[in-house]
């Protein structure tokens, strides 16, 4: 039996999709990249921005011909669009067989494997499936924040943290199956709290796991970055000094309307403390342009914040009103063309800053983890290439000679 999986959206969504695929592979399914030969398709969806939801809907529409070619085929839709639209999806698209919403994300692999198992009876696998070199482990789901533009709290529900021992044991399993780098995932990953243990406690425990080469996490909330977390990052032997930390805007009035729980100054002061605690830390962020009532002056403050932050990357989005969120009640009054122009301007600045960050690496010797024989990433998250083939999973020293197409390249020195 063959399954084709499609995941749209953020790393949380990708991790949810990967967990479902793993459950299916353990149940005897074979993954196929060719949808035409699949007996089942599992589509994991995202609704954080209107564009992401449109992609999911059009993908479902396009899968109708695949389903019509053989009605025994099964189409499963999971994730955030499944949660938001629920039965509306099957009403509009009768060719969808099963809808499992994001609030069921923790149980989705089991639900999907059981349902597909009843229809197709695959032969369960005995040997565990080999893991990727870079794996993700979800530590918490949902979000207790109420950022006014964000649909996540309503589709993913309130925060639920996994028991610490379960997380460590999943990490050990993934490492035993070949993973070298683990990214701890959560919508607000540093809100982790379980039986009196905090995110910093979890980082310290996770860092000591035998066989782990690198530990990352995403995405932390700026207002929850405390000294304990900074020192855990600094002390961690394997914790990578590359932190993605969304700021969304550089203007206090907009930040207040967004209900972010921090000001521009709070954010920049926190970054200063982080940089003191973790010298050389490389940062990335998210920015929304064209939030309701954002003026040119407000937007210019997002640009100056980026100039101060000097991120190596930033993901910038045009604001889109999401149904049911508090900001959807505000007038979406920034014209589309102005949003486009601001997005163009912010992306141009981000490219310039990214190039500067990459070029600052030239001449240095960096550690890379080989994900393929000639490609990997530095601890600080930069992509890197080299000529001579090495065993995937090995840690190397690379003498950085040049930058081309957003990738470092050079000679391996050991
Ligand atoms: N419009 C535009 N961008 C959004 N994001 C979340 N909600 C919206 C929205 N309504 C962005 C934020 C967040 C990232 C995952 O998506 O920048 O950090
Ligand atoms: Fe959305 Fe804010 Fe929660 Fe992030 S912290 S998921 S932006 S509500």
According to the model, what pLDDT value does residue 343 have? 98
Residue 65: exposure state from Cβ atoms within 10 A (0-12, 13-18, ≥19): exposed
Shared-domain flag, residues 234 and 249: no
Shared-domain flag, residues 406 and 308: no
Closest ligand by atom to 325 CA: 1
Best substitution site from 286, 305, 326, 346 to test ligand 1's pocket, by max atoms within 8 Å of Cβ? 286
Contact assessment for residue 75 and residue 43, using Cβ atoms and an 8 Å cutoff: yes
Closest ligand by atom to 221 CA: 2
According to the model, what pLDDT value does residue 14 have? 93
Closest ligand 2 atom to Cα of 144 = 3
DSSP symbol at 403: E
Render pLDDT for 138-184 as a digit per residue (tens, 0 to 9).
999 999 999 999 999 999 999 999 999 999 999 999 999 999 999 99
Best substitution site from 46, 142, 152 to test ligand 2's pocket, by max atoms within 8 Å of Cβ? 152
Of 11 and 315, the one with more pLDDT:
315
Q: Tell the residue nearest (CA) to atom 16 of ligand 1.
A: 48
Distance between CA 370 and CA 385 in Å, rounded?
A: 9
Instruction: Average the pLDDT over each of 8-12, 43-47, 203-207, 322-326 and give the range with the smallest value.
Output: 8-12
pTM to 2 decimal places: 0.94
- Using the predicted structure, report yes or no on whether residue 18 has a pLDDT greater than 90: yes
Shared-domain flag, residues 392 and 307: no
According to the model, what pLDDT value does residue 122 have? 82
328 CA → ligand 2 middle, Å: 15
According to the model, what pLDDT value does residue 130 have? 63
pLDDT cut 90: percent of the chain above it = 95
Best substitution site from 80, 83, 138, 145 to test ligand 2's pocket, by max atoms within 8 Å of Cβ? 145
According to the model, what pLDDT value does residue 97 have? 95
Distance between CA 40 and CA 2 in Å, rounded?
A: 7
According to the model, what pLDDT value does residue 131 have? 67
Shared-domain flag, residues 198 and 225: yes
Closest ligand by atom to 244 CA: 1
Mean pLDDT of 333-343: 98
Bridge partners (DSSP) of residue 242 are 282
pLDDT cut 70: percent of the chain above it = 98
Shared-domain flag, residues 147 and 92: no
Q: Is residue 338 part of a domain?
A: yes
Contact assessment for residue 98 and residue 82, using Cβ atoms and an 8 Å cutoff: no
According to the model, what pLDDT value does residue 146 have? 94
Render pLDDT for 201-239 as a digit per residue (tens, 0 to 9).
999 999 999 999 999 999 999 999 999 999 999 999 999
Domain count, the chain: 4
Q: Is residue 12 part of a domain?
A: yes
Closest ligand by atom to 47 CA: 1
Mean pLDDT of 375-389: 97
Token digits for 208?
């000591």
According to the model, what pLDDT value does residue 177 have? 93
Which alpha helices (DSSP H) does 49-93 contain, by range? 50-69, 80-85, 87-92
187 CA → ligand 2 middle, Å: 7
Average pLDDT over all residues of the chain: 95
Shared-domain flag, residues 38 and 54: yes
Range of the domain at 105: 2-119
Shared-domain flag, residues 201 and 250: no
Render pLDDT for 83-138 as a digit per residue (tens, 0 to 9).
999 999 999 999 999 999 999 999 999 999 999 998 888 877 766 666 689 999 99
Bridge partners (DSSP) of residue 155 are none
Residue that is last in its domain, among 119, 144, 177: 119
Token digits for 47?
């609704």
CA 74 to chain centre: 27
Phi first, then psi: what are they for 77, rounded to 5°? -115, 125
Q: Does residue 322 have its Cβ closer than 6 Å to ligand 1? A: yes
Mean pLDDT of 295-318: 98
Token digits for 266?
């709070």
Shared-domain flag, residues 158 and 207: yes
Place of tokens 């009035």: 253
Q: Is residue 125 part of a domain?
A: no
Distance between CA 246 and CA 189 in Å, rounded?
A: 12
- Using the predicted structure, report yes or no on whether residue 68 has a pLDDT greater than 70: yes
Render pLDDT for 352-378 as a digit per residue (tens, 0 to 9).
999 999 999 999 999 999 999 999 999
Q: Does residue 248 have its Cβ closer than 6 Å to ligand 1? A: yes
Shared-domain flag, residues 346 and 370: no
């Amino acid at each position: 039996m063959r399954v084709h999986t499609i995941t749209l959206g953020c790393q949380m969504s990708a991790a949810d999709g990967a967990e479902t695929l793993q459950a299916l592979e353990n149940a005897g399914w074979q993954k196929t990249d060719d949808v035409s030969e699949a007996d089942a398709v599992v589509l994991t969806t995202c609704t954080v921005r209107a564009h992401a939801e449109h992609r999911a809907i059009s993908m479902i529409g396009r899968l109708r011909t695949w389903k019509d070619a053989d009605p025994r085929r099964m189409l499963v839709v999971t994730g955030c669009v499944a949660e938001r639209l629920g039965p509306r999806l099957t009403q509009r698209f009768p060719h969808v067989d099963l809808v499992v919403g994001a609030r069921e994300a923790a149980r989705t692999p089991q639900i999907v494997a059981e349902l597909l198992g009843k229809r197709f009876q695959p032969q369960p696998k005995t040997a565990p499936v080999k893991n990727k070199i870079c794996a993700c482990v979800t530590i918490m789901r949902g979000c207790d924040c109420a950022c006014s533009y964000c649909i996540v709290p309503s589709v993913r529900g309130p925060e639920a943290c996994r028991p610490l021992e379960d997380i460590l044991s999943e990490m050990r399993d993934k490492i035993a199956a070949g993973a070298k780098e683990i990214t701890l995932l959560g919508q607000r990953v540093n809100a982790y709290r379980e039986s009196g243990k905090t995110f910093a406690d979890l980082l310290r425990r996770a860092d000591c796991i035998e066989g782990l080469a690198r530990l990352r996490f995403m995405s932390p909330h700026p207002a929850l970055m405390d000294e304990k977390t900074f020192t855990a990052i600094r002390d961690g032997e394997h914790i990578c000094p590359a932190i993605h930390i969304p700021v969304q805007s550089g203007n206090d009035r907009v930040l207040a309307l967004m209900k972010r729980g921090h000001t521009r100054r709070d954010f920049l002061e926190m970054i200063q403390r982080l940089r003191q605690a973790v010298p050389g830390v490389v940062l990335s962020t998210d920015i929304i342009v064209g939030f309701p009532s954002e003026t040119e002056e407000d937007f210019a403050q997002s640009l100056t914040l980026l100039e101060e932050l000097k991120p190596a990357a930033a993901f910038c989005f045009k604001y889109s009103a999401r149904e049911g969120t508090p900001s959807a009640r505000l007038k979406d009054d920034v014209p589309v063309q102005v949003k486009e122009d601001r997005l163009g301007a912010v992306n141009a600045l981000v490219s310039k800053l990214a190039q500067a960050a990459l070029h600052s690496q030239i001449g240095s010797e960096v550690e890379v983890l080989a994900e393929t024989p000639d490609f990997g990433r530095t601890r600080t998250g930069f992509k890197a290439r080299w000529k001579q083939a090495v065993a995937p999973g090995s840690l190397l020293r690379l003498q950085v000679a040049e930058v081309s197409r957003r990738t470092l390249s050079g000679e391996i020195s050991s």
